[in-house]
């Protein structure tokens, strides 16, 4: 796909006066361009370069966007499926990062690429003229200086947490143990193995980078020397943002995942963090933290790709309706996802 974009002018894609040059791999031209663009605390130049140079199972590419002879944006992308790209830096590595770009040019630059880009969990609602399929996600977040256990009592979750504390008394707490972040991330990716885990290698690399500067932490529950549950967190402002979690299935009877997150709350509060941000999605999060804010996901793509996506979704929806109607007389129902014990 990228090779075709590079070779053809795609006259029906609005470029907004911008010129796009594609790169299948990182090279010195991109190093020079990056040096002329603003630095980002969420994804420093050094980290982006390392992620682009790092081998990965997912295809990567970079787009250098220019207005005349001036660098406007450098956008790194990761393939996450048929004709679909995520911004590298998103998906849990640096969730608010979109690109290194000059002020005010980011949406025009993303639109000028002429490909289907998915952007996840941004804090600001996007300008409607640039985006499609906008989704508002409730954020589950709680003040760690508050009596958060009172919220757990109100949500009905405190009883489960106390059960986890009793069942896990023989296990120990570990903070930032050697290899802990990678253990959690890789097991999380193996367990789920979906579009969100396409950035596994980049997430491991970013965890090491942010860990060296004190911005990434991993809490694990240990049975002796054996890790049984882990949670990873990115320091975002004065709070912690939950990134990935994994609990060994043979320890779910002990509610090990619940106990590990309970201990993460205890540690974060004692360490002086002001909030615990569990992010969006997954029903279990409402039991730990109330809705506090909104994040936005959306797609940026030209009209012809949007029309194809709408047609494909309509076809899939119609197909599911036919299958469900056929199953109904026989009492067959589509199974849902496994219940998360957290």
Per residue in 138-149, pLDDT (tens digit) is: 999 999 999 999
Q: In sequence order, what are the residues at sequence separation of 6 or more whose Cβ sits closer than 8 angstroms to the Cβ of residue 247?
A: 228, 229, 230, 256, 257, 260, 341
Q: How far apart are CA 220 and CA 332, in angstroms?
A: 40
3-state secondary structure of 19: strand
Chain centre distance of CA 337: 19
Strand pairing category for 70-81 and 60-67: antiparallel
Residue 162: pLDDT band (50, 70, 90) is very high
**Mean pLDDT over the full length of the chain:** 85
Class of domain 2-137+295-330: alpha beta
Domain ranges of the chain: 2-137+295-330, 139-293
Q: How far apart are CA 247 and CA 242, in angstroms?
A: 15
Residue 302: pLDDT band (50, 70, 90) is confident
Q: Please indicate whether the domains covering 2-137+295-330 and 139-293 agree at the CATH topology level.
A: yes
Q: How far apart are CA 116 and CA 201, in angstroms?
A: 22
For 50-106, how does the pLDDT look when each residue is reduced to its tens digit (9 = 90+)?
Answer: 999 998 888 899 999 999 889 999 999 998 877 789 998 766 778 889 999 997 789
Architecture of the structural domain at 139-293: 3-Layer(aba) Sandwich (3.40)
């Amino acid at each position: 796909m990228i090779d075709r974009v590079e070779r053809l002018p795609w006259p029906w894609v609005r470029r907004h006066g911008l010129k796009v040059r594609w790169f299948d791999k990182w090279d010195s031209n991109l190093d020079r361009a990056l040096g002329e663009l603003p630095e980002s605390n969420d994804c420093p130049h050094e980290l982006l370069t390392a992620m682009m140079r790092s081998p990965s199972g997912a295809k990567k590419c970079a787009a250098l966007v220019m207005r005349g002879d001036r660098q406007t944006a450098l956008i790194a992308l990761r393939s996450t499926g048929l004709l679909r790209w995520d911004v590298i830096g998103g998906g849990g590595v640096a969730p608010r990062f979109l690109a290194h770009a000059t002020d005010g040019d980011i949406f025009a630059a993303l639109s000028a690429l002429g490909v289907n880009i998915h952007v996840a969990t941004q804090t600001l609602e996007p300008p409607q003229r640039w985006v499609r399929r906008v989704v508002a996600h409730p954020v589950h977040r709680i003040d760690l200086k508050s009596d958060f256990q009172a919220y757990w009592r109100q949500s009905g979750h405190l009883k489960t947490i106390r059960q986890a504390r009793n069942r896990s008394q023989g296990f120990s707490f570990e903070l930032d143990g050697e290899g802990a972040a990678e253990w959690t991330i890789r097991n999380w990716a193996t367990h789920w193995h979906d579009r969100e885990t396409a950035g596994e290698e980049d997430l491991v690399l970013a965890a090491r980078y942010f860990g060296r500067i004190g911005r990434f932490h991993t809490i694990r529950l240990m049975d002796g020397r054996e890790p049984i549950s882990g949670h990873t967190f990115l320091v975002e402002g004065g709070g912690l943002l939950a990134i990935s979690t994994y609990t060994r299935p043979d320890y779910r009877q002990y509610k090990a995942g619940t106990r590990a997150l309970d201990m993460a709350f205890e540690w974060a509060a004692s360490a002086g963090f002001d909030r615990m941000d569990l992010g969006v999605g997954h029903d279990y999060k409402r039991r730990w933290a109330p809705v506090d804010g909104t994040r936005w996901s959306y797609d940026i793509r030209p009209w012809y790709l949007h029309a194809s996506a709408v047609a494909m979704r309509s076809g899939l929806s119609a197909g599911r309706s036919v299958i469900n109607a056929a199953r109904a007389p026989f009492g067959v129902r589509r199974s849902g996802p496994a219940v998360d014990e957290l």
